[in-house]
């Protein structure tokens, strides 16, 4: 009788979905943010340099000091926050497509990752100017895109 209860519990454990077996499920996609094994991933239709600037600006605005910011063979690797809380990889997929991978703490913190990505989204539209006064990132204004 005890073996039947144990087998029933095992069956319930593996058939109950994501709540009890988070390491056995496939990636979870919410909107355009993909969450896999404690790491959030999102693609941007912008150059690597623009996204790098947006990530650094977003971390500063959220009050997390950047401890490490170094180029890698794929793009950039950033460590930020107290106790190396954020580990962010920027990967150039194509000329105008950049992937941003972010792991917060050891197991990941999905709500905080969503906050960071929302900050990055808002900072990609910020236009900066070079020494000559020319914009370093050309992006049409919303009014121009709507045809008004």
Q: What CATH number has the domain bearing residue 96?
A: 3.30.310.80
Residue 104: inside a domain: yes
pLDDT tens-digit profile of 18-77?
554 444 444 444 446 788 888 889 998 888 988 998 999 899 888 999 999 999 888 999
28 part of a folded domain: no
In angstroms, how far is CA 65 from the centroid of its own chain? 17
Residue 46 is assigned to a structural domain of this protein? yes
Number of domains in the chain: 1
Containing structural domain, residue 74: 38-125
- Rg (C-alpha) for the chain, rounded Å, is 20
Give domain status of residue 130, yes or no.
no
Among the residues of the chain, which ranges form H helices?
2-15, 48-61, 110-124, 142-146
């Amino acid at each position: 009788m005890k073996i039947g209860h144990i087998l029933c519990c095992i069956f319930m454990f593996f058939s109950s979905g994501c709540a009890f077996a988070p390491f056995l499920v496939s990636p979870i996609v919410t909107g355009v943010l993909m969450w896999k094994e404690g790491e959030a991933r999102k693609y941007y239709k912008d150059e690597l340099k623009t996204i790098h600037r947006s990530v650094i600006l977003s971390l500063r605005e959220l009050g997390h000091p950047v401890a490490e910011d170094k180029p890698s063979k794929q793009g950039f690797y950033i460590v930020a926050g107290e106790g190396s809380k954020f580990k962010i990889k920027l990967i150039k997929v194509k000329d105008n497509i950049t992937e941003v991978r972010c792991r917060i703490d050891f197991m990941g913190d999905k709500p905080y990752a969503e906050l960071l990505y929302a900050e990055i989204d808002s900072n990609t539209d910020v236009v900066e100017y070079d020494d000559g006064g020319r914009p370093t990132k050309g992006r049409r204004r919303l009014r121009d895109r709507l045809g008004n």
